[in-house]
A and B are shown apart, each in its own frame.
Chain A
Amino acid sequence: MTAMLRPDLALIGEWVGPNSRILDLGCGDGTLLAHLARTRGVRGYGLEIDPENVARCVESGINVIETDVDDGLKDFRDGSFDYVVMTQALQAMQRPDRVVSEMLRVGRTAIVTFPNFGQWRVRLALARGRMPVTPSLPEQWYDTPNIHLCTVADFEDLCALRGWKVLRRSLLDHERRDDWAIRLMPNLLAEVAIYMLQAPGNGNGRRE
């Protein structure tokens, strides 16, 4: 099953500690939670706004809570999860910075993945005077849910500004994982970025 999993999700499966408690923001049809439950004995909940996805989660036996993540995580207590995860949805949030802050409040660790808007494909399209349409950004400018795209460099600036500690980082392109070329020129070559973050002053987070 792992072979069919989206690369960023597969990687999260390796990062997350066994039997941990997890909250997945924008969980879609529950693929990640099902994978983590199966392979890591992880328990938790997905938050999802789309009724079709909610129904699919329920049909798969995944705990799902129908809600709008943009409304915040006020129903969740401080530090009540080992991990709060958000995959490929940060760029669709009204205020990505606030969402990450909330993730770091509710979770001892946050994991976010997002498409890197600095990737060469994006730059190439823009250099041609066109909005980019790439494998990780498949929508046209007029129907995309992505309203707050950022580059790896932008995101790391925000982390530094807010004092979020980067515990782990992985940069992927469509086929490859984290090879030497990406590590050398992350902002140019990475298609998808994955970060494990911790709130400032929170030194007892779990690292696996």
Chain B
Amino acid sequence: MNDPHSDPFPADSVGIVEPRKIVIQRPLTLDCGRVLPRHELMVETYGSLNIARSNAVLICHALSGDHHAAGYHSADDRKPGWWETCIGPGKPIDTNRFFVVALNNLGGCRGSTGPSTLNLDTGKPWGPDFPIVTVRDWVRSQAMLADELGIAQWATVIGGSLGGFQVLQWAIDYPARIRHAVAIAAAPKLSAQNIAFNEIARQAILSDPEFHGGHFYEHGVVPSRGLKLARMLGHITYLSDEAMRAKFGRMQKSEQFSFNFDVEFEVESYLRYQGQSFVERFDANTYLVMTKALDYFDPAREFGGDLSTAFRQAQARFLVVAFTSDWRFSPARSREIVKALVDAGRDVSYALVDSQLGHDDFLMPLPEYHRILRGYLSRTLEAGA
């Protein structure tokens, strides 16, 4: 890191990072009733834990995220981690100050125990036998991870979208273990429309002939058409109408209509590319599991459907951030969270960031957004904060 000639990365990047696998040997009882006697989590950490062990920040990932949130895996790695814009020395999640922990959630496909890993009981990949996990299960698993890392309390648990769901669940389920909860572009639960999109994505995968009831590993194939369709659909919901209009409009690859079903409009080309590249890095069974975790999320459910009652459990201070152009989890959904927190008497701030891109804006380095994150997080290490 000291010799600029040997380090091809920007000064505000954490640079080369190495993922490691942490084995949780304790049994994990899942919401579905099944028990995982042990499980493995792929983890990356950035920065260092202070002596008081009070500066740990947990990054919760969204639908297709993983443990590689920042930095690069090799000197010629082209793409940094998924939240490189936000995590690093001097960035809003400042690795000079915080010990940052990112993981691939249980059920993921980037090395953590999930449908594509070996089931030790059978010696075969779990496939469709992998249990359907919930946001609560993830939070339980993350709490076990915190135990392994010697972190009794997170300074902050932070995440966008599905990651924000985990943040809210953390604050409710482990009130004493989280000082600050930062939920970005989130919602208190999915709407019928949200679930409908997930159902179409699942049907696309389930009806792919190469899905083989989830046992496609043994057949040496991948349900790529279904997974690709699922991702294409998802992508539409991550972008605003305005952003798509600005980016693609009605631009065509050639001037004439070709009167067939080949790619003609730029937006078609974009979606196909996004779908195809996703197939190469993501597992169809994991996609199914993740969408179910989204659908099931409803922390108010065990509190008589009243979210403010759920938040009465919490002790953390909250920051809720929404984006004006996000229609997947619109600002109104974030306001539901804020209202419940106010009704519960919790400390909360809410920022509505002016944006164009849509749901995906939570990954963008918008100055207004990053100023809020930086300003909030900078106070999280203060005594008594």
**With A58-B376, A65-B348 as contacts: A76 and B368 at CB distance below 8 Å:** no
> Taking the complex as formed, is B371 at the interface, i.e. its CB lies under 8 A from any CB of chain A?
yes
> Taking the complex as formed, is B276 at the interface, i.e. its CB lies under 8 A from any CB of chain A?
no
Which residue in chain A gives the minimum CB-CB distance to B350?
Answer: A65
Which residue in chain B gives the minimum CB-CB distance to A51?
Answer: B368
Contact call B352/A58, Cβ cutoff below 8 A: no
Residue in A21, A51, A62, A65 with the greatest tally of chain B CB atoms within 10 Å: A65
Size category of the B interface is 20 to 34
Contact call B372/A76, Cβ cutoff below 8 A: no
Contact call A75/B351, Cβ cutoff below 8 A: no
Q: How far is the CA of A157 from the CA of B371 in the complex (A)?
A: 45
**With A51-B354, A75-B342, A77-B343 as contacts: A58 and B349 at CB distance below 8 Å:** yes
Which residue in chain B gives the minimum CB-CB distance to A21?
Answer: B345
> Taking the complex as formed, is B347 at the interface, i.e. its CB lies under 8 A from any CB of chain A?
yes
- Measured between beta carbons, the chain B residues less than 8 angstroms from A67 are 335, 350, 352
- 13 A-B pairs within 8 Å (CB atoms) are namely A54-B349, A54-B351, A54-B372, A55-B351, A55-B375, A58-B372, A59-B375, A59-B379, A61-B379, A65-B348, A65-B350, A67-B352, A76-B342
Contact call A59/B350, Cβ cutoff below 8 A: no
Residue in B354, B372, B378, B385 with the greatest tally of chain A CB atoms within 10 Å: B372
Q: How far is the CA of A86 from the CA of B247 in the complex (A)?
A: 43
Within 8 A of B (CB), among A117-168: none
Q: How far is the CA of A43 from the CA of B347 in the complex (A)?
A: 9
Contact call A59/B351, Cβ cutoff below 8 A: no
Q: Which of B342, B350, B371, B382 contacts A66 (CB 8 A)?
A: B350
Residue in B319, B345, B368, B375 with the greatest tally of chain A CB atoms within 10 Å: B375
Contact call A63/B349, Cβ cutoff below 8 A: yes
> Taking the complex as formed, is A57 at the interface, i.e. its CB lies under 8 A from any CB of chain B?
yes
* 8 further contact pairs, Cβ within 8 A, besides A51-B351, A64-B349, A65-B342: A45-B348, A51-B368, A55-B368, A63-B348, A63-B349, A65-B338, A66-B352, A75-B342
> Taking the complex as formed, is B339 at the interface, i.e. its CB lies under 8 A from any CB of chain A?
yes
**With A55-B368, A58-B319, A58-B376 as contacts: A65 and B349 at CB distance below 8 Å:** yes
B316 to chain A, nearest CB (A): 13
> Taking the complex as formed, is A19 at the interface, i.e. its CB lies under 8 A from any CB of chain B?
no
> Taking the complex as formed, is A94 at the interface, i.e. its CB lies under 8 A from any CB of chain B?
no
- Measured between beta carbons, the chain B residues less than 8 angstroms from A59 are 375-376, 378-379
A92 to chain B, nearest CB (A): 19
- Measured between beta carbons, the chain B residues less than 8 angstroms from A57 are 349
- Measured between beta carbons, the chain A residues less than 8 angstroms from B385 are 61
B365 to chain A, nearest CB (A): 15
- Measured between beta carbons, the chain A residues less than 8 angstroms from B375 are 55, 58-59
Q: How far is the CA of A169 from the CA of B368 in the complex (A)?
A: 40
B353 to chain A, nearest CB (A): 8
Q: How far is the CA of A74 from the CA of B241 in the complex (A)?
A: 29
- Measured between beta carbons, the chain A residues less than 8 angstroms from B353 are 51
Q: How far is the CA of A119 from the CA of B206 in the complex (A)?
A: 74
Q: Which of B319, B339, B382 contacts A75 (CB 8 A)?
A: B339
Contact call B347/A63, Cβ cutoff below 8 A: yes
Within 8 A of A (CB), among B324-352: 335, 338-339, 342-343, 345, 347-352
**With A55-B372, A59-B375 as contacts: A66 and B339 at CB distance below 8 Å:** no
Which residue in chain A gives the minimum CB-CB distance to B382?
Answer: A61
Q: How far is the CA of A21 from the CA of B339 in the complex (A)?
A: 16
1/0 per residue, CB under 8 A from B, across A42-73: the answer is 01010000010011011101111111000000
- Measured between beta carbons, the chain B residues less than 8 angstroms from A62 are 349
A45 to chain B, nearest CB (A): 7
A121 to chain B, nearest CB (A): 38
> Taking the complex as formed, is A80 at the interface, i.e. its CB lies under 8 A from any CB of chain B?
yes
- Measured between beta carbons, the chain B residues less than 8 angstroms from A43 are 347
B184 to chain A, nearest CB (A): 14
- Measured between beta carbons, the chain A residues less than 8 angstroms from B354 are 51
A60 to chain B, nearest CB (A): 8
B330 to chain A, nearest CB (A): 14
B337 to chain A, nearest CB (A): 11
- Measured between beta carbons, the chain A residues less than 8 angstroms from B350 are 64-67
Q: How far is the CA of A61 from the CA of B179 in the complex (A)?
A: 14
Q: Which of A21, A58, A61, A77 contacts B351 (CB 8 A)?
A: A58
Q: How far is the CA of A45 from the CA of B338 in the complex (A)?
A: 11
Contact call A55/B343, Cβ cutoff below 8 A: no
Q: How far is the CA of A65 from the CA of B337 in the complex (A)?
A: 12
Q: How far is the CA of A58 from the CA of B376 in the complex (A)?
A: 6
1/0 per residue, CB under 8 A from A, across B55-80: the answer is 00000000000000000000000000
Contact call B342/A45, Cβ cutoff below 8 A: yes
Within 8 A of B (CB), among A1-54: 21, 43, 45, 51, 54
